[in-house]
Structure 1
Amino acid sequence: MKLIIDPQYKALHKKHTALKNQISIIIEDRADLVCHQAVALKTEYIMKIGRLEYELFKLECNIARARRKIDMIQACINLQVPIDEEHIEKQLDKEYEEYIEKLKQMASDIDVANYLEDCEKLTTEETVELKKTYRAIVKLIHPDVNDNLSEEQKALWNRVTDAYETGNIEMLKVLYELALDNEAIENTENMDDKNEIDILKTKVEFLQNKIKDLLIDIEKIKKAFPFNIVDFLEDEEQIRNKQEELHKSIKEAERLLEELNAYLLMLKPANGEYKN
């Protein structure tokens, strides 16, 4: 006996399948922007410009600190109070804590950029396979596609995210098989007599709203750093001019810092203790 399928259910099921395919592509596009393209652009920027900006910012922090130290020492001299250099240094560390943390973060970004620059890149074929496998998993266990994931599926998705970010294709394949097995179990456990048409309507509406939100988010990402500097990175003349500008500023900052340090030394007598 031939099974008769409700035309409305059939149409909704077809639409739901199409939306799952569409959102899997959009989600992968967004993940590629954030995890791969953004990282590559940021790495390129750091290698060409960021390292010089770090050197300049470090000098500027040292200049500001030296000026502040001179002011503090000069105030002690003017007031004829003892100068506790150790206390002054601790106070400076406290005042410039935010700048110190920013320097550490910039240094860390440079270390990561150096590492990524030396990493072996995926081939075109490997990239296609990575995208294809990721999209297939998205349909099965991505939170934006499925709103009733189990804790096991959520944990599995976290592992998928890590594998995608690092370009680990082999691990992604294994996780895909696990996602398939997991979905089969979930489908078996969740079979009941609910109105399938109403359920599909809800799922279709859910996916449509998610797609709209994701597309808006992607547009925001494309307008933000580092995507807003793509034209700059592709312009060799602009890069060269910026590098020359930074080199010039670095030399000027080095000269100024040297003068400030020399002035600090002048405040010390021959025995190395500050004047009072």
Structure 2
Amino acid sequence: MGDINFNIEYNRKMKLIDSLKSEIAILVEKREYLIKDKKPFLESKYMMTIGKHEKERLEIEIEVRALKRELSIRRAALNRGEKVTSEEIKEVLKKELRLWQNKINEYANQIKKSELFLKLPRMDVEETKEFKSLYKKLVKRLHPDLNEFNEKSKFLWLRTCAAYKDGDLDELRTLICIVQNEEEDENYLEKNLLLIDDKINELQQIFHNINNQIEELHSTFPFTIEKEISSIIWIKNKVDEILENVNMLKNNREKLQVVLSEFL
């Protein structure tokens, strides 16, 4: 009777372990999808609709800052009865505005990457469904947090991660064939209920950790504007607001240029 009860409890807990692995695999796939696919897509869409206008605003804002600083330097020199050359001013501005120029370069790189990303070929609905399904199966069998890890499984897991990152459906198909041809070793727990309980606790903690990571992702940019970035009206309002600022900055730039012309 004791053996029967032990086996029932053992089987119940092994099913729980299998269920937890399946749920974790779903969460891992969801997290990776958010990080490696949805996040760059939303960022790219933002950069190509709004970010490019923010770059223009930043460029003019830097010009205005440079003109204001030049005016300040020339007035200070005039008050001291000294002369300052244009080359000296350029050197001062180059140093002081370096961080701002780096921001411009960063924007330019992001826009270029976004343009390339949005032009990449994308899988159709059926291929995407298969891709996600295969990845979840591979996570369940190969993820180092869910399984015993050796050199072979490590090699296969690294191939899996690379295939997911590259969107390589054929590689995932190959990997699932390799994994399915090998027997999954479930004997490492040796029917020890204490070891099994430890494994269940470990898997439950992994589940909660990944779930928290996903929730945290949803609370950060660009996921916080996921709904808005699909709205043409929202995008137009944001762009109009930026362009209004751009026009104000252009007016300031022209006024500063007029004042500076008196020093030349």
Whether these two folds match at TM > 0.5 is yes
1:90 corresponds to which residue?
91
What do residues 126-153 of structure 1 show as CA deviations (whole Å, max 9, x unaligned)?
Answer: 111211121122112323324x534665
| Equivalent position SS for 2:167 | coil
What do residues 187-219 of structure 1 show as CA deviations (whole Å, max 9, x unaligned)?
Answer: 5xx977966433322221111011111112211
1:217 corresponds to which residue?
213
Within a 5 Å distance, the mapping from 1:20-39 to structure 2 comes to 20-39=21-40
Moved more, 156-165 or 48-57: 156-165
Identical amino acids, percent of aligned pairs: 27
1:117 corresponds to which residue?
118
What do residues 113-137 of structure 1 show as CA deviations (whole Å, max 9, x unaligned)?
Answer: 1111222121011111211121122
Q: Distance in 1 between matches of 2:191 and 2:85?
A: 79
Q: What is the CA distance between 1:159 and its match in structure 2?
A: 4.1
* Residues 77 and 84 in structure 2, CA contact (< 8 A), matched pair in contact too: yes
Unpaired runs of at least 5, structure 2? none
Cα 1:179/1:94, change in 2 over 3 Å: farther
The code of the aligned residue for 1:263 comes to: V
* Count of matched residue positions in the alignment of Structure 1 and Structure 2: 261
Cα 1:193/1:209, change in 2 over 3 Å: closer
Q: TM-score, normalised by structure 1?
A: 0.82
* Residues 42 and 226 in structure 1, CA contact (< 8 A), matched pair in contact too: yes
| Equivalent position SS for 2:226 | helix
* Residues 50 and 239 in structure 2, CA contact (< 8 A), matched pair in contact too: yes
Moved more, 14-23 or 215-224: 215-224
The code of the aligned residue for 1:54 comes to: K
* Residues 28 and 131 in structure 1, CA contact (< 8 A), matched pair in contact too: yes
Q: Distance in 2 between matches of 1:255 and 1:193?
A: 74
Moved more, 207-216 or 71-80: 71-80
Unpaired runs of at least 5, structure 1? 269-276
Q: What is the CA distance between 1:264 and its match in structure 2?
A: 3.2
Q: Distance in 1 between matches of 2:130 and 2:107?
A: 34
1:208 corresponds to which residue?
204
Moved more, 218-227 or 157-166: 157-166
Q: Distance in 2 between matches of 1:112 and 1:164?
A: 19
1:165 corresponds to which residue?
165
Q: TM-score, normalised by structure 2?
A: 0.85
2:245 corresponds to which residue?
249
What do residues 49-97 of structure 1 show as CA deviations (whole Å, max 9, x unaligned)?
Answer: 1111111112112211221122122212221234243343233222222
C-alpha RMSD of matched pairs (Å): 2.8
